[in-house]
Structure 1
Amino acid sequence: MGSVNSALLGWANYFHYRNSNQALEKVKTHTEERMRKHLMKCHKVKDRGIGLGRFPSQQLYTKYGLYKVPTTAGWKSAHALACRTSESRMR
């Protein structure tokens, strides 16, 4: 779990900018599905519906400690503020 979280955190920090909401949502969904698939394999659960019930998304984060990829870009306002500041200096 440590190496998965490390990779997710690095990826999210690098690409977490203005118009990345859809990409971040896809990464989050893909990570949840892969983690669930891994847990189903370890616990010998073959039915996907049972796997969804047994390993819900919230449990992946609380019990197993998966890093929750942010799905909203946090830099939108900071970036806009920085642009306005540099534009006002140029004038």
Structure 2
Amino acid sequence: MPIRAAVERVNGIVRGWVNYFRVGNSGQAFGKVKQYVERKVRRFVAKRAGRRGLGWKRWSREVVYGAWGLYGDYRVRYYNPSKARLQPNGIITPVR
């Protein structure tokens, strides 16, 4: 399996998980998940290349998150009720 295809499969799962748990206090867990996913992807690429280790010196984070396209938006978003809209913005059409 090509690297980009493997990373795309991983990204779909991680992106959904992060978006589900993003609201709240999950920053510490996100750090652990990000490190785990990066290690797994590095190990996959190293095995594919027939090398030992995880390639920390071989591939920088710019390569992993930039060139390979690994998902990296693990920011926590806090719910702010003062910014929430109570009334919809626009016209609502009834469903028949």
Q: Same fold, TM exceeding 0.5?
A: yes
The structure with more helix, counted as a fraction of residues = 1
The corresponding residue for 2:81 is 82
SS of match in other structure, 1:54: coil
TM-score, normalised to structure 1's length? 0.75
Count of residue pairs brought into register by the alignment: 78
Q: Is 2:15 the counterpart of 1:9?
A: yes
For the aligned residue pairs, the C-alpha RMSD in angstroms reads 1.9
Aligned partners of 2:53, 2:45: CA distance in 1, in Å? 12
Moved over 6 A (4+): none
Q: Deviations over 1:15-66 (max 9, x none)?
A: 1122100011111000100000001101111144xx1111222211111111
Q: Percent identity?
A: 29
Tell me, which stretches of 5 or more residues in structure 2 are unaligned?
1-6, 85-96
- Report which of the two structures shows the higher radius of gyration computed on alpha carbons: 2
